[in-house]
Amino acid sequence: MSKGSFPEIPRRPGALRGAPLAVSLAGVAAAGLAGWLMWDTGGDSGDGAKHPVGAASATKAPAPSAPKPPASPSSPAPGKPSGSPSQKPSPADDGPLPDGPLKGKVVVVDPGHNIRNSQHTAEINRSVDIGTGHKECDTTGTSTDSGYAEAAFSLDVAHRLRTILRAQGAQVTFTHDGDRPYGPCVTERAEIGNKARADAAVSIHADGSAVGNRGFHVILPAAVRGGRADTGPIVGPSKELGARIAGKFVQATGSAPSNYIGDKTALDERGDLGGLNLSTVPKVFIECGNMRDPQDAALLTDGAWRQKAAQGIANGITDFLRG
């Protein structure tokens, strides 16, 4: 798919949150995403947003013990991430918020997994209540064949995203910043967004599926109700947030929607993820690509591409918040 071929979604009048979806997602899919093949696959079955592994899918990657040192930016080794393994916050990330179009808005950014999770298997494997059932506290995530961890990728993109959003005046809250021994659990990740009364929340991931499965997809909360879970109030605005992020991600990165999840729409609805089930604010997950596919891995390990990914996510959030 060429850059910019995902059709623009008309802006909404009126309130920013809780408004009905202003455009038919089916129309978006038919107009902008036709022609992409769908494959039946899987990945990590934890709340890292992956689907159960199918017979034709790759198994979950071994948990990395620590991110590998970056290759020299001038001549990165094949399959190694270019640029720093975790983008350092800019000075603006710690300073006062500038005036901008997102002034007064709160965005919660959830970097998927934690690079130290593999050192705390008992803690992350303990069961937590997600309202409609029980799942692991957290999972280790996946990695590329060369050992670039999903947790390192997600934190790097999160730092880049924070810098972009703060420059527009948004208050950005992280669920963690690589400073915890493990986790946080999926229940706490949701609670951080709820307590912040976020106007939008995004969880950043990369998939761990079979070779040949390529592209990105955005996971939306299904309508679920049970225990502490009641996504009814957020299903509509979350779909709108997800659709806008998907469209802007295509434009910024040139990446194709997933050819194996989402039925050619780049959107996938899930009711088994605690991070979505327990959210009371508009929230989505984005799987930026498949780390187990060599072509997608070449993008995910490239610092310049990760900057484009962060920009696409930021553009979608901005579009949603500005209505």
Which pLDDT score is estimated for 25?
39
Q: How far is CA 307 from CA 124, 252, 304, in A?
A: 30, 9, 5
pLDDT tens digits, 126-182: 999 999 999 999 999 999 999 999 999 999 999 999 999 999 999 999 999 999 999
Q: How far from each other are the two terminal CA atoms of the chain, in whole angstroms?
A: 26
Spot the catalytic one: 136, 150, 188, 287: 287
The arithmetic mean of pLDDT across residues 176-195, rounded, is: 98
Q: Among 3.40.630.40, 3.40.50.2300, 3.30.365.10, 3.30.70.520, what is the CATH number of 102-322?
A: 3.40.630.40
Over the chain, what is the mean pLDDT?
Answer: 81
* Whole-number pLDDT of residue 205: 98
Q: Is 8 a catalytic residue?
A: no
Could you give the percent of the chain with pLDDT greater than 90?
69
Task: Provide the percentage of residues in the chain whose pLDDT is more than 70.
Answer: 71
Predicted local confidence at residue 81, as pLDDT: 75
The pLDDT value recorded for residue 87 is: 52
Of 67-71, 87-91, 247-251, 273-277, minimum mean pLDDT range: 67-71
Mapped onto helix, strand or coil, the DSSP state of residue 117 is helix
Q: pLDDT tier at 195 (50, 70, 90 boundaries)?
A: very high
The token duo for 13 is 């009048």
Alpha carbons 65 and 58: distance in angstroms, whole number: 20
Residue whose C-alpha is closest to residue 70's, from 1, 14, 146, 127? 146
Please compute the mean of the pLDDT values over residues 82-103 and round it to a whole number: 70
